[in-house]
């Protein structure tokens, strides 16, 4: 089983903090437009800026697996602020020896599609008009949404079926042409292409045995000065928790439900 794990770092958006745990049996890649000495165990693939904005450039690399990774059996995408704290080989084997084509985790807050649309509007993550235009397009073309809504910060994909069905290109077109939110479009892609999927009943963004999530970098502005202290406290506690998970496994060999 040849496995690649990759991340994408566009601009100075996330802290360059190493994963506490990395399995030597897998290959690691970082696709970035930054010159960085961090991520020492990752093969760095430098990418040039293009006509896409940073958000879409990130999502394109997330959704359309780069060509250099297509020789692997299984490829895992991780958001850059999700850190590996313990072995994930049991998850990988469970997926590899199934007939599933894609694997992901449940939404951290149990959102429905309607909840997620409202959240995107409330937190200014996308324009209301673009979201409604996207949903209208799916309805007009009789493309239904598949439940349950997923957390796309962690994606496992089987390469042979990815190449056969070629669903990634269409998925990115929806993201680019409409709301820019891959969580909104993936339920429709899953339905349209009838993907065989594996849903893991944890989220990398909530307490789990494998991953820890760090906040994105703080964008300092005067009006947000009061939030800086909260950000520093949050980052500190999350880094402590990240190493707690690592020590918990390394020294106490705590078993997970997949072992």
Judge whether 54 and 10 are in contact, CB under 8 Å: yes
What separation in angstroms does the CA of 77 have from each of 61, 153, 157, 167?
9, 7, 8, 16
Q: Could you give the percent of the chain with pLDDT greater than 70? A: 93
Domains of the chain are 3-252 (3.90.550)
Whether the per-residue pLDDT at 220 is higher than 80: the answer is: no
What's the pLDDT band for 48 if we cut at 50, 70, 90? Answer: confident
What's the pLDDT band for 76 if we cut at 50, 70, 90? Answer: very high
Sign of CA dihedral 184, 187, 191, 193: positive
Whether the per-residue pLDDT at 83 is higher than 80: the answer is: yes
> Which residue in the block uniquely carries the two structure tokens 């349950």?
148
Whether the per-residue pLDDT at 49 is higher than 80: the answer is: no
Q: What is the DSSP string of 146-202?
A: PSSPEEEEEEEEEHHHHHHH-HHHHHHHHHHHTTS-HHHHHHHHHHHTT--EEEESS
Whether a cis peptide bond, with omega within 30° of 0, leads into 148 is yes
Whether the per-residue pLDDT at 224 is higher than 60: the answer is: yes
Please write the tens of the pLDDT for every residue from 138-188: 999 999 999 999 999 999 999 999 998 999 999 999 999 999 999 999 999
Q: For residue 153, what pLDDT is reported?
A: 97
Question: How high is the mean pLDDT of the chain?
Answer: 92
Q: Average pLDDT of 55-62? A: 96
| CA 52 to chain CA mean position, Å | 19
Whether the per-residue pLDDT at 118 is higher than 90: the answer is: yes
Q: For residue 54, what pLDDT is reported?
A: 92
């Amino acid at each position: 089983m040849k496995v690649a794990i990759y991340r994408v770092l566009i601009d100075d958006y996330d802290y360059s903090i190493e994963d506490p745990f990395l399995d030597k049996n897998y290959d690691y890649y970082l696709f970035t437009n930054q010159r960085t000495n961090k991520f020492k165990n990752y093969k760095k693939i430098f990418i040039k800026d293009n006509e896409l904005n940073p958000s879409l450039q990130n999502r394109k690399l997330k959704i359309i697996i780069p060509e250099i990774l297509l020789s692997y059996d299984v490829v895992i995408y991780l958001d850059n602020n999700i850190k590996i704290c313990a072995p994930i080989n049991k998850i990988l084997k469970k997926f590899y020896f199934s007939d599933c084509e894609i694997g992901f985790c449940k939404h951290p807050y149990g959102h429905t599609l309607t909840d997620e649309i409202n959240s995107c509007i409330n937190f200014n993550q996308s324009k209301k008009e673009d979201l409604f235009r996207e949903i209208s397009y799916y309805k007009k073309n009789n493309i239904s949404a598949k439940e349950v809504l997923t957390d796309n910060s962690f994606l496992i994909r089987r390469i042979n079926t990815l190449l056969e069905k070629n669903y990634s290109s269409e998925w990115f077109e929806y993201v680019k042409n409409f709301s820019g939110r891959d969580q909104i479009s993936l339920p429709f892609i899953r339905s349209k292409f009838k993907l065989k999927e594996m849903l893991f009943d944890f989220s990398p963004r909530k307490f789990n045995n494998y991953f820890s999530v760090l906040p994105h970098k703080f964008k300092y502005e005067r009006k947000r000065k009061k939030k800086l202290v909260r950000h520093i406290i949050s980052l500190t506690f999350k880094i402590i928790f990240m190493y707690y998970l690592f020590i918990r496994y390394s020294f106490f060999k705590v078993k997970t439900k997949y072992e």
